[in-house]
Amino acid sequence: MSKLWGGRFTKPTDRLVEEYTASINFDKALAEEDIQGSLAHVAMLGKCGIIPQADADTIAEGLLKVLHKIEAGEVEFSVSDEDIHMNIEKHLIQEVGPVGGKLHTGRSRNDQVATDMHLYLRGRVVELTGLVQAVQQALIDQAKQHTGTIVPGYTHLQRAQPILFAHHLLAYVSMFQRDAERLMDSYKRINVLPLGAGALAGTTFPIDRHFVAEQLGFDGVYENSLDAVSDRDFILEFLSGASILMMHMSRLCEELVLWSSTEFGFVELDDAFCTGSSIMPQKKNPDVAELVRGKTGRVYGNLMGLLTVLKSLPLAYNKDMQEDKEGMFDTVATLDGALRLFAPMIATMQVRTGRMREAVNKDFSNATDIADFLVGKGLPFRDAHEVIGKTVLYCIENGKYLLDLSLDEFKSFSDLFDEKIYDVLQPENVVNARNVYGGTATVQVEAAIGRAQQTLELTTEWLDGRL
């Protein structure tokens, strides 16, 4: 068969040009969406009387046959047919004859491919939001078990103040909630129909774009035909949100790598999510966490790649925009794989509460509370800060921790100290003293867990409305 657009040309396309410009090797992933969009389009053509209803029915039956063959692995896609749209149209014509050529009436590959990507990304955003929710649930479930587990809190990777381990985990629940909200919000801009914009200016046929939108479940249609075929903001927005999501996962992965090391020993990841060494039999490597951390870079790269492709393009469609798909597909696959592993990895993680408590007992993370104690006695904070600095230095030089000091030793730094200082310095009291909304006190963390669970229920409602 000659090319569907070949009427204007006097010689065949060079083989190297065919291979270089073809997109079928990656846009075949849009086969289902392409046929889905075509079914709605041909239904509209028949409804509007643009083609006879009998032809529309024949084309629809042919499209379903092609889809079944694709799903059964019986269709071979050809580079000479360039892309998924022309491959499917060729197979359609082989299936139903010349009437299949009427399918493309009133549309262009420009608005067709944009529609395919809207359909594809719409489904993936819903799936990924559900996977993010599963990660959040795994974190919440772990947090519920550790509302009494105290761990050092860090700044600059130096021990700062003791906190509940549940509080630490809930920080990531909040991060992932923002990620889920970004995905859900992006759905509004994904769920807009570009079909009917034609190549760039619309079409002379009396099409009904709103009917097609209703058939495909879109909330509306693009207002401007030029914008409809040239817009890739919805992909950029997805890639941006995906990059932030991967960054959050990478941060947690870094902590899992640290926590599972011999130096920390705070957690042990399940054997199912670790690998060994080919030469060192004692090794248990957190490879999943490390690989998620590493794959974050490729998601960033996909975002920067598409931003760069689009930055100088004049309206409307340009062949450069063929480069919008591979990065999108790769990012979806990268996120999907990481999130599916993340939830069970967190759920099966063993927390070494004894090691965490040992770490809390052997540091100076309760020093701030001594300063607060002295401030409560009337000493200006800056003076209290200096007193505690000297106290900590004394402890370091003498191999002691703050709770090891006698009252006389405390009083050598300030007469304001009394027996109550020992209660102040107990890790449980240090933690529960932060009894403010969003703080690490047990009562606040338990309330935060309840709020987080309620928020996940709202996400479930959103997902149920779109699945």
- Longest CA–CA span in the chain (Å) reads 101
Q: What is the DSSP letter of 174?
A: H
Rounded-to-integer distance, Cα 24 and Cα 19, Å = 10
CA atoms 155, 157, 161, 167: torsion sign: positive
Strand partners, 193: 221
Q: Tokens 């570009």 sit at which residue? A: 194
Is the peptide bond preceding residue 367 cis, with omega within 30 degrees of 0? no
Rounded-to-integer distance, Cα 58 and Cα 46, Å = 11
Rounded-to-integer distance, Cα 345 and Cα 272, Å = 8
Q: Could you say which of 156, 278, 312, 406 is catalytic?
A: 156
* Backbone conformation region of residue 157, classed left if phi is above 0, alpha if psi is from -120 to 50, else beta: left
Q: Which residues are CB-contacts of 376 (< 8 A; sequence separation ≥ 6)?
A: none
Q: What is the DSSP letter of 144?
A: H
Q: Could you say which of 78, 230, 277, 278 is catalytic?
A: 277
Torsion angles phi and psi, residue 22, rounded to 5: -70, 145
Q: Is 104 a catalytic residue?
A: no
Q: Is 193 helix (H, G, I), strand (E, B) or coil?
A: strand
Rounded-to-integer distance, Cα 195 and Cα 209, Å = 7
Q: Which residues are CB-contacts of 24 (< 8 A; sequence separation ≥ 6)?
A: 77, 78, 79, 81, 82, 83, 84, 87
Is the peptide bond preceding residue 213 cis, with omega within 30 degrees of 0? no
Q: Is 172 helix (H, G, I), strand (E, B) or coil?
A: helix
Q: Tokens 């004394």 sit at which residue? A: 394
Taking a C-beta distance cutoff of 8 angstroms, is the pair 212, 50 a contact? no
CA atoms 109, 114, 119, 120: torsion sign: positive
Rounded-to-integer distance, Cα 141 and Cα 416, Å = 44
Q: Is 167 a catalytic residue?
A: no
- In this structure, what is the dihedral angle of CA atoms 330, 333, 336, 337, given to the nearest 10 degrees? -110
Q: Which of 162, 166, 163, 164 has the alpha carbon at shortest distance from 139?
A: 166
Q: Is 38 helix (H, G, I), strand (E, B) or coil?
A: helix
Catalytic residue set = 156, 277
